[in-house]
Structure 1
Amino acid sequence: MTKTIDVQVNAQSIAALKKGYPLILREAVINPEVLREEGTIIRLVDKFRKFIAKGYYGNQNKGIGWVLTRDDNEEIDFPFFEAKIAAAIERRESFFEDERTTAFRIFNGEGDGIGGLTIDYFDGYLMVSWYSEGIYSMKHHVYGVLDKIMDYKAIYEKKRFDTKGQYIEQDDFVKGEPGDFPIIIKENGMNFAVDLNDGAMTNIFLDQRDVRKALRVKYSEGKHVLNTFSYTGAFSVAAVLGGARETTSVDLAKRSLAKTIEQFSVNAIDYEAQNIQVMDVFEYFKYAKRHGLKFDVVVLDPPSFARSKKYTFSTAKDYPALIMDAISITEKNGIIIASTNNASFSMKKFKTFIAKGFEDAGSRYKILEESSLPKDFRTNRDFPEFNYLKVVILQKLK
């Protein structure tokens, strides 16, 4: 049986925890010296030793663990994991029935009741991501549940936590029949090649599904679309299939060229008719300005933090400047799709970045639509900070 210890939390944190806040913040803990082994079950108590909630110890960003239950008598065991995962899969029933989309999230961490754990479905293959040693120590429960309640081809995993300061190369395969990668999944009828056994990424960010659909259906026909920080070119694929007359994909990573060609090819798109640039996005902005290039649609989906030889970029500090760069090469009445996955600020704050960028550029805009995580990335409405994705689609008026 997993060891259980009492952890005292300060008075300021008790109200939020009782309301349902799932993350156990580092600064909330009064007696951190009792926290020794990740994976330990912890009973959160007040200064009078009165029970508040129960969870597990696992270091993840600013938290030291996640609340799992507010019932002191509920055991954190196989039946607990089975109930949570089965309920999550049942909520995604409509996704399993949709033949046009064969990749989606079936378990989304704290949104489905177990913080630090996500499970993605790729046409029969499962990708389990672990965000702390604490939750990883309970993998036997998770894999046991998946064996019991799901039919799958194979399970792959990604450890998204620091292992004593060292990154260890490992085979991501766990069990089942290994896949012959890349496999082709569908998203709203589009094809994407994915590889579940090739480092931290899979070639597709499932949380941008609704944004790609919007680009394809509403904003691409007859347009020249610039896709910055393009990764494997998924937005560019959506634009071409939406009728774009041309796309330009820009990413600094050398492998982005081959990966973007691959995504075009699995959709029977002539990649030679598209423009793929392997270069720093900020250098490309300068190049486009020098050559008088203008785009009808610009997609901005940068990483939260990036560093190249010449630039260091942080969405929390540099997004207004990024907006200014985009404005300078966007046609009048053109579209800018501004996106960020930085969880450290709110949608309201993100909109202030956009407003500042336009103000500094002496330009005006109107917001056409905004969105956050898709339905399968379930979150708690009471705590919007865990809904990390922020997308604003806007039109440049001047």
Structure 2
Amino acid sequence: MRQLVEVKVKPKSVKNIMNGYPLLAKEAVENSGVTMDEGSILRLVDSSGRYLATAYYGLQNKGIGWVLTRKEQEKIDTTFFVKKISAAVARRKNLYETEDTTAFRVFNGEGDGIGGLIIDYYDGFYVVNWYSEGMYSFREAVYQALGEVAEVRGLYEKLRFNTNGQYVEQDDYVSGEHGEFPLIVSENGMKYAVDLNDGAMTGIFLDQRNVRKALRDKYSEGKTVLNTFSYTGAFSVAAAFGGAVQTTSVDVAKRSLPKTIEQFAVNEIDHEAQDIKVMDVFDYFRYAARHDLKFDVVVLDPPSFARTKKISFSTAKDYPKLLKDTLKITSDGGVIIASTNNASFNMKKFKTFIDKAFTETNTSYKILEEHQLPEDFTVPDNYPEFNYLKVVFIKVMK
């Protein structure tokens, strides 16, 4: 039997809840001393006991739970999940019908009405990402609902709610067809190899789909392209498709080499004509500067936080320095694709990092285009802070 708890929302947070803010922050509720189980249903009320919303309790890095409905009589059951997932699938109708793209996001957490639940689609296979143990307690209802709404070729899951910050190693297969990996998916006509049962990552970041397309279509022809923090080389593949004369992919992870070779191979691109380096990106910047290497296009998409034996890096404080290092190896008139998925600052703040780097190096620049999350990564209305991705194409005017 699922626990039902009435929780009082502090006066200063009532307006946010009433206006549709989906996150339940710890400081938003009064501490009643009631011990709540993960997945408990919370009846949120104001100080006078007036109903505000229904939420679930689920500890995660953003708060203690998420609002599910503002209809007092609505039950949180399989019917509820069918309704939410059906609406999300309907919003992606165009993507389902697009033949040249077979990998995208089907359900984007709070943007589709259920914080802590992410569902991705890979050519008939579905991957469900659980971001709190509380939401995971609804697992059976969610899987039943997904099966009613969509034709599921095979189902995989990722558990991302453990407390020590490490991914839970497990067999991610749930039901249906066992995938044969690598699974080859399409994105705007390009092919990418993915593995749905290989830890936290699948081999491609779906939120960068439009950025890869822009790189391919507008910025690669006849250019030398450096892809830093390259992971499996998805940007490098896009650049090669766009007519880049050479790509250079740099990532510190040893597995980036075979994974990047694999991505070139599935697209019938000769990886030996490309440059793939397994080394620390910061070391590579120094190496490139010493050897007077210059690139026409540099993709700069670092993790929000990184730590090596030599340095620790945070986009929130170190991005300007990273850009200054990048400028040393960018050709006159070149383009830097500056990207971050750090949700702790917005696009306006990100642009101040860019301006700081160019100002301190006495370099002029022009912003060519900007990107945030693509259309399948739905964000809540009126709450742009949930739109975590920030990408700026910058032309260097030396």
| Band the TM-score falls in, shorter-chain normalisation | over 0.9
- Which residue type is aligned with residue 175 of structure 1? S
- Which residue type is aligned with residue 192 of structure 2? F
Confirm whether residue 147 of structure 1 aligns to residue 143 of structure 2.
no
Q: 1:32 to 1:247 in 2, by over 3 A?
A: farther
Distance 2:313 2:168 in 1: 27
Confirm whether residue 393 of structure 1 aligns to residue 393 of structure 2.
yes
Q: Which residue of 2 aligns with 1:271?
A: 271
Q: 1:92 to 1:336 in 2, by over 3 A?
A: same
> Superposed, which structure 2 residues align to 1:83-98 within 5 Å?
83-98=83-98
- Which residue type is aligned with residue 74 of structure 1? E
Q: Which residue of 2 aligns with 1:16?
A: 16
TM-fit CA distance, 1:62: 2.8
Q: Which residue of 2 aligns with 1:322?
A: 322
Q: 1:380 to 1:236 in 2, by over 3 A?
A: same
Q: 1:292 to 1:32 in 2, by over 3 A?
A: farther
TM-fit CA distance, 1:168: 4.2
Confirm whether residue 172 of structure 1 aligns to residue 168 of structure 2.
no
Residue aligned with 1:162, SS: coil
Distance 2:354 2:241 in 1: 28
Contact preservation (8 Å) 1:250, 1:276: yes
Q: Deviations over 1:97-138 (max 9, x none)?
A: 101000000101011110100100000110000000000000
- Which residue type is aligned with residue 43 of structure 2? R
TM-fit CA distance, 1:359: 1.2
TM-fit CA distance, 1:360: 1.6
Confirm whether residue 209 of structure 1 aligns to residue 174 of structure 2.
no
> Superposed, which structure 2 residues align to 1:361-380 within 5 Å?
361-380=361-380
Q: 1:165 to 1:298 in 2, by over 3 A?
A: closer
**Superposition CA RMSD, Å:** 1.2
Q: Which residue of 2 aligns with 1:132?
A: 132
Q: Which residue of 2 aligns with 1:283?
A: 283
Deviates more, 1:155-164 or 1:269-278: 155-164
Residue aligned with 2:298, SS: strand
- Which residue type is aligned with residue 135 of structure 1? M
Contact preservation (8 Å) 2:57, 2:64: yes
Contact preservation (8 Å) 2:167, 2:199: no
- Structure 2 unaligned runs (5+)? none
Distance 2:241 2:233 in 1: 12
Distance 2:190 2:43 in 1: 47
Distance 1:174 1:211 in 2: 32
Contact preservation (8 Å) 1:130, 1:158: yes
Count, aligned residues: 398
Residue aligned with 1:324, SS: helix
Q: Deviations over 1:193-235 (max 9, x none)?
A: 0000000000000000000000000000000000000000000
Residue aligned with 1:310, SS: coil
What percent identity do the matched residue pairs reach?
Answer: 64
Q: Which residue of 1 aligns with 2:306?
A: 306
Residue aligned with 2:16, SS: helix
Which TM-score applies when normalising by structure 1? 0.98
Residue aligned with 1:34, SS: coil
> Superposed, which structure 2 residues align to 1:1-398 within 5 Å?
1-31=1-31, 33-162=33-162, 168-398=168-398
Residue aligned with 2:38, SS: coil
Distance 1:165 1:278 in 2: 25
Distance 1:200 1:167 in 2: 6
TM-fit CA distance, 1:32: 5.7
Distance 1:32 1:165 in 2: 29
Contact preservation (8 Å) 1:26, 1:62: no
TM-fit CA distance, 1:374: 0.3
- Structure 1 unaligned runs (5+)? none
TM-fit CA distance, 1:71: 1.1
Distance 2:284 2:210 in 1: 27
